[in-house]
Structure 1
């Protein structure tokens, strides 16, 4: 089975990041899709960079991106192996200019991510890995292996949550782990797939997502987290599956 080599994929992610930052550093216009989610020329530019580069690197592996057209969205239902890409995960963070957005690239096999890369252009940090392969972070200090740190009894739960989508259902779910007002839970608000990466490198232990996401939002970061020893599953514990007829994910929990 083909597995990516980071020396081949890192330049693609960084090129997409450069395309995003070229827009981020100047005034830009915001469009809105049918679901009212924002869209910018940075999303489109990063999409073009990644799709073109992946087609050159692995011409036999098709690419599904959040910005793919309807024809690709239909064709992907017949794919068992493909790249799943979110060229700019966290467009709301991009629009608000808080830096908490990422480039997500995942290799999918038979309905699950086997390898993933998450790159944060503003932070200039990159995470990559896959289940059974390990996980790593690349930053100004070099490349280091990362690993989750499961919760220890008696310690405060460190929970990551969405900056824009912290639903009442999520708060109700968290109540079973402790009382936030009593300091039994520490909530770290963060945008995009960075939430998975924080868990993967041991900075938090839990990320319940009881609000909408799409498959391209989670695949790459799930691979990184699983490579670091964590897990992502439905609320009933069953695995998160991909390439479903409905591209929306069900509610899930990511854990160290």
Structure 2
């Protein structure tokens, strides 16, 4: 399955890259968030391929959901798709936008692919193994390597959203005395934690499940974790929520290893 999903993500990413280079057509959805012809074309491509290869697995995709088309996920096994994560980065000609495809099983992200076409890099994970590889201009995969989270020392490096940083996130970083902070768009923040170049990603503003699932799968396979503010693993397939819409995430903090996996400490909002 993973090999197929990598291929699907790369093909969609190449189509996105063509539009990125020529200039996208931008409109606004009902929630006033931007959508481009690249989002729509990539989602069509992904959905066609998922239906072809995995016809029995339902798919929850961002643009289809925005249009009111939501699959029945009562089987507890389904795909989450964000065809273009980081649309604002894409429109602004920043390069850290991604294609996200994840498989959810009983609330847990068990497989993920995150492809950053403008950077020529892809991350993927399944069965507890996370990898990074390059994708060249001919869409050929090169230099595949295993990745894993690092064990942080006294100096903690944080990642924060470039386009969606809120006051609560700024307060969290200040209260935890974190001075080294990089701004990164899209689900690449999870991937950078997974490959051991940063330690923590606090996200206290709103996200949707398709924004986070693929990157979260990669992070977890690499030895990290994503926890809500009450210390529980972030779950997927959240529907019929009384406080928010279907598939909306609560605030969370993602992090790499604090020590070894077996010594991972309980989560605290105040202390990493």
Whether these two folds match at TM > 0.5 is yes
The secondary structure found in structure 2 opposite 1:20 is helix
The secondary structure found in structure 1 opposite 2:47 is helix
- Determine which of 211, 214, 218 is the counterpart of 1:224: 218
- Determine which of 194, 208, 212 is the counterpart of 1:200: 194
Judge conservation of contact 1:46–1:87 (CA < 8 Å) in 2. yes
C-alpha deviation, 1:172, in angstroms: 1.1
Q: Which residue of 2 aligns with 1:125?
A: 121
- Determine which of 126, 134, 142 is the counterpart of 1:139: 134
Aligned runs of 1:67-78 on 2, under 5 Å?
A: 67-69=63-65, 72-73=69-70, 75-78=71-74
The secondary structure found in structure 2 opposite 1:72 is coil
Q: Which residue of 1 aligns with 2:265?
A: none
The secondary structure found in structure 1 opposite 2:51 is helix
Tell me the alpha carbon deviations over residues 32-74 of structure 1, each in whole angstroms, 9 at most, x when there is no partner.
112211000000000011000111111111111101155532x
* Separation (CA, whole Å) in 2 of partners of 1:122 and 1:174: 29
Q: Which residue of 2 aligns with 1:186?
A: 180
C-alpha deviation, 1:150, in angstroms: 2.3
C-alpha deviation, 1:124, in angstroms: 1.0
- Determine which of 88, 108, 112 is the counterpart of 2:108: 112
* Separation (CA, whole Å) in 2 of partners of 1:247 and 1:76: 13
**What's the RMSD between the two structures over aligned residues?**
1.4
The secondary structure found in structure 1 opposite 2:169 is helix
Q: Which residue of 2 aligns with 1:248?
A: 248
Q: Which residue of 2 aligns with 1:51?
A: 47
* Separation (CA, whole Å) in 1 of partners of 2:109 and 2:202: 19
Q: Which residue of 2 aligns with 1:181?
A: none
Q: Which runs of 5+ in 1 are unaligned?
A: 179-183
The secondary structure found in structure 2 opposite 1:240 is coil
Count of aligned positions: 243
Judge conservation of contact 2:158–2:200 (CA < 8 Å) in 1. yes
Q: Which runs of 5+ in 2 are unaligned?
A: 136-141, 240-245, 257-272
* Separation (CA, whole Å) in 1 of partners of 2:24 and 2:214: 27
Runs of 4+ in structure 1 off by over 2 angstroms are 69-72, 75-79
Judge conservation of contact 2:2–2:111 (CA < 8 Å) in 1. no
The secondary structure found in structure 1 opposite 2:124 is strand
Tell me the alpha carbon deviations over residues 156-190 of structure 1, each in whole angstroms, 9 at most, x when there is no partner.
21100000111110111112321xxxxx5211100
* Separation (CA, whole Å) in 2 of partners of 1:71 and 1:189: 32
Counterpart check, 1:5 vs 2:6: no
Tell me the alpha carbon deviations over residues 132-168 of structure 1, each in whole angstroms, 9 at most, x when there is no partner.
5210001165100000012113xx2110000011111
* Separation (CA, whole Å) in 1 of partners of 2:2 and 2:162: 32
